[in-house]
Copies of this chain bind each other. A is one copy, B any other.
Amino acid sequence: MMTPEQLVRNVTAITGYTRHAGVDIVSAEAGRVTLSLDKKPELTQFNGFFHGGVVSGLADHAAGAAATTALPAGKIAVTVDLHVNFLSPASGNRLYAKARAVQVGSTICVVTVDMETDTSDGLKPCALASVTLRVVDMPAMSSKPLA
């Protein structure tokens, strides 16, 4: 039986997208997961800020992690519907996704995600996401810890 942190570490490591982007796990407990990402040229939009697709992608992954850690072992939550409100440019050097499962059902989960970026005045909200996920059986390959 994996801890929530092992589970999130595992899923993040076997996912090409998050492994290549360099997603870090800041904290993980059942239903609450915070991830972060350092800025790199391949994650930016034309003005050098984090691209909206990266903001959306980190929100999506954090939502999946928050829902899955709240589910019984052997189940995983996959995104059905992703909604992102962009509040301000993600202009810092690091992007944070703080996901919280607000509903965990046997077929549907709902997760909200606060996206923040670092500024000289501390962390600042840059986007909000609400994510609807569907509960499915976890594929066999991800049921063992990677390391």
Contact = CB atoms under 8 A, between A and B. Distances in A.
A94 interface: no
| Interface size class of chain A, counting residues whose CB lies under 8 Å from the partner chain | 35 or more
A120 interface: no
A46 to B, nearest CB: 5
Interface string A5-43: 000000100111111110000000000000000001111
Interface in A104-147: 107-108, 110, 112, 125, 128, 130, 132, 134, 139, 141-142
Contacts of A128: 102, 110, 112, 130
Contact of A43 (B17, B41, B51, B56): B17
A54 interface: yes
14 contacts: A14-B46, A15-B45, A16-B40, A16-B45, A17-B42, A18-B51, A46-B139, A53-B56, A53-B58, A80-B108, A81-B81, A87-B102, A102-B125, A128-B130
